[in-house]
């Protein structure tokens, strides 16, 4: 079987220690091969609803940030079938499948995110996006505020309007030794720029397999959350200097 993931940005400042970027040969069927007894590829795929994988995931060149060097991007869908293990939250999430240490020193967790006019997110319901199990840092959307927000240490430190068709590029700068987090952000093809002057204190920790690449919607039993499509591109983790180019 051909490797699923191997591309890295053309101008790489740091060292990629986990690569979740999709190449030209990547398919949803390859993601579906993962199981606890067959831990293959770059992603664990078990947090999802009762439908088949291709109901929740699609991999295509049309789904990536066109400014990136990825071969393909991925659509991740949540709807009212996306309850995992009977939870009242709707979830579609990928997890790094790796033996690398993603929780020491200072690391940069990269990803790009987009929504579109078709199947937009429901701003009335809180979403948690690109989060760690302990939620020391994450993006949130909707609920009490109809914005896309960066959360760290349980507080919001940055926000923007979530506009359909716009690619939002991010990198979490996580100092696992110093227990701080900072955010780098940009839109479209623009290089990443650090948000604010100071990093934020947070209880930084990971077992290297608990970064949730995807979205969790807090329906909590309420009907009418609807179908939502979220698009992801440029997902990887690097050490050393940050790569600012998308």
Name the pTM for this structure: 0.94
pLDDT of residue 181: 98
Q: Is 234 a domain residue?
A: yes
**Whether pLDDT at 1 is above 80:** no
**Whether pLDDT at 29 is above 70:** yes
Residue 62 — φ and ψ, nearest 5°? -75, -5
Distance (Å) of CA 90 to CA 45, 204, 220, 236: 15, 25, 9, 24
Q: Is 16 a domain residue?
A: no
pLDDT of residue 215: 98
Q: What sign does the CA torsion over 5, 98, 107, 158 have? A: positive
Q: What total of structural domains would you count in the chain? A: 1
pLDDT of residue 7: 52
**Whether pLDDT at 2 is above 50:** no
Confidence of residue 159 (pLDDT cuts 50, 70, 90): very high
75 DSSP β-pair partners: 58, 231
The predicted-structure confidence for 78-101, as pLDDT tens digits, reads as follows 999 999 999 999 999 999 999 999
Q: Is 113 a domain residue?
A: yes
Q: Is 118 a domain residue?
A: yes
Number of neighbours of residue 232 by Cβ within 10 angstroms: 25
Q: Is 153 a domain residue?
A: yes
Residue 159: domain span: 21-239
Q: Is 245 a domain residue?
A: no
The CATH number that applies at residue 126 is 2.60.120.1160
pLDDT of residue 4: 46
Q: Is 5 a domain residue?
A: no
Mean pLDDT of the chain: 94
Q: Is 6 a domain residue?
A: no
The strands making up 127-132's β-sheet, listed across from edge to edge, are 43-47, 90-96, 211-217, 127-132, 137-142, 145-152, 155-160
**Whether pLDDT at 222 is above 90:** no
């Amino acid at each position: 079987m051909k490797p699923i993931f191997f591309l890295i940005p053309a101008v790489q400042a740091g060292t990629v220690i986990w690569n979740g970027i999709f190449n030209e040969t990547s398919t949803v069927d390859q993601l579906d091969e993962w199981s606890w007894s067959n831990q293959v590829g770059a992603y664990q795929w078990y947090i999802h609803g009762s439908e088949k994988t291709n109901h929740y995931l699609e991999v295509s060149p049309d789904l990536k940030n066109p400014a990136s060097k990825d071969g393909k991007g991925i659509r991740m869908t949540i709807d009212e079938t996306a309850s995992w293990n009977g939870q009242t939250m709707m979830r579609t999430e990928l997890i790094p499948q790796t033996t690398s240490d993603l929780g020491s020193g200072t690391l940069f967790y990269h990803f790009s995110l987009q929504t579109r006019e078709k199947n937009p997110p429901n701003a009335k319901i809180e979403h948690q996006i690109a989060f760690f199990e302990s939620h020391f840092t994450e993006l949130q959307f909707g609920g009490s505020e109809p914005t896309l927000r960066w959360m760290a240490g349980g507080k919001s430190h940055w926000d923007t309007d979530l506009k359909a068709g716009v690619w939002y590029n991010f990198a979490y700068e996580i100092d696992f030794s110093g227990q701080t987090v900072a955010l780098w952000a940009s839109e479209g093809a623009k290089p990443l720029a650090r948000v604010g002057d100071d990093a934020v204190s947070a209880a930084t920790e990971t077992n290297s397999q608990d970064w949730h690449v995807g979205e969790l919607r807090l329906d909590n039993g309420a009907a009418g959350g609807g179908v939502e499509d979220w698009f992801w591109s440029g997902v990887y983790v690097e050490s050393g200097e940050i790569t600012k180019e998308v």
